[in-house]
């Protein structure tokens, strides 16, 4: 049952009635029994079921993309890209998991010694609203490949998308939604074997502390405030285009977006002019419309938070080179905003800004640019733009992040691990490293 329906910017949003703890615990008991059977199957049998799910997801791609657009508010083409990448994710792991999970025989003085990768059991995931298909599957698919069962607590504001997704999952996979009230999440951690969380650093600390108390494995993908460093010898035209795309795609509501644009003084004025010209091309409007390039934010309270961060920056000496105001349009729209002259007095210097606001930081030289990039609580990703690739690699090694992209904006690649350091969390998703997060790496020794 849906508890309520809201209409924002013409979008119809559903709010799911939470389960009682008694009802969920019964579902969890059944899931644990299903997990034992599922783990007993050969990995190729498990991946075959995932292939069938990938086919269903692909067949329903356009319908689900429209639902994501309606509930989240992102541009429709961005939602279609999310569905395409999700299908690719399933097929990637279905193809590689049998090889990566094969027993590894290691020579010792034993007649036979091996390492095997065995499931932990039932993994609980607490997921956000901004990528309601991709983020759920990014966690669940590798966990399922290894024989785990998965219970996902989705964000209540994307209940419609979540319900449609799990209709496609059906009963073939031990993979269920956990329509839990927030107050019951800690109890659910105690009754499952591991937890994956994507969301704010504040909530991540609470969940990780409780999981630690009960010795449960955790993987945390928390906030990000990625630096986008433009060195003096960079291709400024390309850097300006990429910075604009990375900062303002998905209405700026991506943890992995370029949020702090760091430019060295000698090219700052030229770059800023190019960057502002790109920002001026952005068009707010109906996210379903092909011409819209800047969608509304997900909820009114999220827009209010972004605007409060901008107002704080302006009160502390920052200058809005564009945007920085609440538009006349009703709803959740916020204009592309570029803040210059930002100092450590401003909240946006230290905080993640989850909306269409770019923070400009001016560096004296290359070394200072790297120092500014590291002077932040977060450590998810960073970009360096420079014609001198050797030097770019040198500076990349100095950055305290989980990933560095050279002459490209930050993104995630199925073949590479994704995750951060510092307040951006720990553990990795994607690639073979993500596959091994929720397994018991078990040694066998035979005399």
Find, among 199, 224, 197, 204, the residue nearest to 352 by Cα: 224
**What residues are labeled active site?**
221, 255
| Rounded-to-integer distance, Cα 206 and Cα 229, Å | 33
Q: Which structure tokens are listed for 193? A: 């074997």
Cβ count near 387 (within 10 Å): 12
- Beta-sheet pairing, 425-426 with 381-385: unpaired
Q: How far is CA 347 from CA 306, 312, 343, in A?
A: 11, 7, 9
Q: How far apart are CA 78 and CA 98, in angstroms?
A: 32
How far apart (Å, rounded) are the C-alpha atoms in residues 329 and 300? 12
What DSSP string describes 101-116? TS-EE--SSSSEEEEE
Count of other CB atoms within 10 angstroms of residue 122: 22
Tokens of 398: 């100095």
Contacts of 435 (CB under 8 A, 6+ apart): 93, 96, 97, 100, 101, 142, 145, 146
Task: Please name which of 305, 435, 403 lies closest in space to residue 357, comparing C-alpha atoms.
Answer: 305
Among 259, 186, 124, 200, which residue's Cα sits nearest to residue 425?
A: 200
């Amino acid at each position: 049952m849906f508890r309520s329906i809201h209409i924002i910017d013409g979008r119809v949003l559903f709010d799911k009635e939470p389960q009682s703890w008694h009802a969920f615990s019964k579902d969890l008991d059944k899931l644990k029994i299903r997990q034992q059977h599922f783990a007993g199957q050969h990995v190729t049998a498990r991946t075959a079921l995932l292939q069938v799910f990938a086919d269903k997801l692909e067949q329903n791609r356009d319908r689900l993309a429209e639902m994501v657009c309606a509930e989240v508010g992102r541009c429709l083409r961005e939602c279609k890209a999310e569905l395409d990448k999700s299908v690719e994710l399933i097929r990637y792991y279905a193809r590689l998991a049998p090889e990566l999970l094969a027993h590894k025989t290691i020579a010792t003085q034993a007649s036979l010694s091996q390492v095997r990768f065995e499931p932990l059991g039932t993994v609980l995931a607490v997921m956000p609203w901004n990528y309601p298909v991709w983020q759920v599957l990014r966690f669940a698919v590798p966990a399922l490949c290894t024989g785990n069962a998965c219970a996902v607590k989705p964000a209540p504001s994307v209940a419609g998308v979540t319900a449609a997704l799990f209709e496609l999952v059906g009963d073939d996979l031990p993979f269920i939604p956990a329509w839990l009230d927030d107050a019951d999440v800690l109890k659910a951690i105690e009754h499952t074997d591991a937890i994956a969380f994507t969301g704010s650093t504040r909530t991540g600390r609470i969940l990780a502390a409780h999981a630690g108390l009960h010795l449960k494995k955790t993987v945390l993908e928390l906030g990000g405030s990625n630096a986008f460093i433009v060195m003096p010898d960079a291709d400024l035209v390309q850097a300006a285009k990429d910075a604009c795309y990375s900062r303002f795609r998905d209405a700026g509501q991506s943890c992995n977006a370029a949020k702090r644009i760091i430019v060295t003084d000698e090219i700052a004025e030229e770059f800023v002019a190019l960057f502002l010209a790109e920002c001026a091309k952005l068009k707010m409007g109906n996210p379903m419309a092909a011409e819209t390039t800047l969608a509304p934010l997900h909820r009114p309270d999220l827009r209010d938070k972004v605007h409060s961060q901008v107002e704080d920056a302006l009160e502390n000496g920052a200058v809005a080179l564009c945007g920085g105001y609440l538009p006349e349009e009703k709803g959740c729209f916020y204009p592309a905003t570029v803040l210059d002259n930002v100092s450590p007095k401003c909240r946006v210097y230290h905080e993640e800004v989850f909306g269409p606001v770019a923070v400009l930081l001016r560096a004296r030289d290359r070394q200072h640019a790297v120092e500014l990039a590291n002077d932040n609580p977060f450590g998810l990703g960073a970009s360096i733009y420079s014609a001198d690739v050797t030097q770019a690699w040198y500076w990349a090694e100095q950055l305290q992040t989980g990933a560095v992209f050279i002459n490209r904006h930050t993104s995630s690649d199925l073949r590479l691990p994704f995750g951060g350091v510092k307040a951006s969390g720990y553990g990795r998703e994607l690639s073979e490293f993500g596959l091994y997060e929720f397994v018991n790496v078990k040694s066998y020794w035979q005399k």
